[in-house]
Structure 1
Amino acid sequence: MTDAHAADPQLRRVLVADDEPHIGHIIRLKLEQGPYTVVLVSDGEEALEQLRGDEPIDVVLLDIMMPRATGLEVLEQLRAMPHRSDTPVIILTAKGQDADRRQALELGATDFFTKPFSPKKLLARVDELFGAPAPDGA
């Protein structure tokens, strides 16, 4: 398997951790329309394995409710990793209560999207993280 990031250094690498396969598939389809390559994992421990490695990861999209480690646990550990501490993290969750949002932001999340969310708005937000202006209506 060839690494698209190595083949095209212009591609941004996005780690998507979500235990709902259809959500991960939708996110992958939308992001790969832009300058992104997606690494998709289905639980928190798989996300941590990816984050502990040396492969570039430019942004992380995390579900809160996942098996083996929650998104908030992953976020907390990610922020403690010297090589990942500044990596942007967007939380994607069905848990939309203010307390969940507050906790995620306190742990260092960059943004918080409640499911169901607009894949177009998510792509626009990821683009924004890398300096691309948000399109009108996104």
Structure 2
Amino acid sequence: MLLVDDDPNNNYALGAALGQKGIQVLSAPSGKDAIRLLEEVTGIDAVLMDIMMPGMDGLETIRRIRSNPRFEHLPIIAVTAKALDQDREDGLAAGATDYMKKPIDVKELLKKLQQLK
């Protein structure tokens, strides 16, 4: 899984929790780094994308990922601390497969990932 979040604490905590569940996690601190990793690393099965990031935000990053036919069916879960319905709609419109609010409930995330397979 590729975890994209500009907050290193979020990357560490969620990466550790997912690692305990047997999920290998790569972290990217920006949208630009996420796109680079997707192009360079094979075997990434899903992306957890923070929406609120400086520079290229998560919505633009999702759009750019989706513009590559290679990633047309890659599960991307948009994540934000904001709990507005519009944020969910914006994430899905940008090409996210699903949406979650922070803080991430690992059990809920694992359930979503199983459903997306």
Same fold, TM exceeding 0.5?
yes
Confirm whether residue 73 of structure 1 aligns to residue 60 of structure 2: yes
Match of 1:27 in 2: 14
Q: Any gaps of 5 or more consecutive residues in structure 1?
A: 1-13, 131-138
The TM-score normalised by the length of structure 2 is 0.89
Deviation at 1:54, TM superposition (A): 4.9
Number of equivalent positions: 117
Q: Which moved more, 1:80-89 or 1:95-104?
A: 95-104
Determine which of 94, 106, 110 is the counterpart of 1:119: 106
The TM-score normalised by the length of structure 1 is 0.77
Deviation at 1:122, TM superposition (A): 1.5
Determine which of 93, 98, 123 is the counterpart of 2:80: 93
**How far apart are the structure 2 equivalents of 1:41 and 1:117?**
17
Cα RMSD after superposing both structures: 1.5
Task: Check whether the contact 1:91–1:112 (CA below 8 A) recurs between aligned residues.
Answer: yes
CA deviations on 1:48-67 (whole Å, 9 max, x unpaired) are: 11123352211000000112
Deviation at 1:27, TM superposition (A): 1.5
Task: Check whether the contact 2:60–2:94 (CA below 8 A) recurs between aligned residues.
Answer: no
**How far apart are the structure 1 equivalents of 2:115 and 2:13?**
19
Partner AA of 1:93 in structure 2: T
Confirm whether residue 109 of structure 1 aligns to residue 96 of structure 2: yes
CA deviations on 1:80-129 (whole Å, 9 max, x unpaired) are: 11111110000111122111111111122111111123122112222332
Secondary structure of the structure 1 residue equivalent to 2:53 = coil
| Pair member with larger Rg | 1
**How far apart are the structure 1 equivalents of 2:16 and 2:111?**
14
- Determine which structure has greater relative contact order: mean sequence separation of CA pairs < 8 Å that are 6+ residues apart, divided by chain length: 2
Higher helix share: 2
**How far apart are the structure 2 equivalents of 1:78 and 1:33?**
28
Q: Which moved more, 1:62-71 or 1:51-60?
A: 51-60
Match of 1:62 in 2: 49
**How far apart are the structure 1 equivalents of 2:56 and 2:91?**
15
Secondary structure of the structure 2 residue equivalent to 1:96 = coil
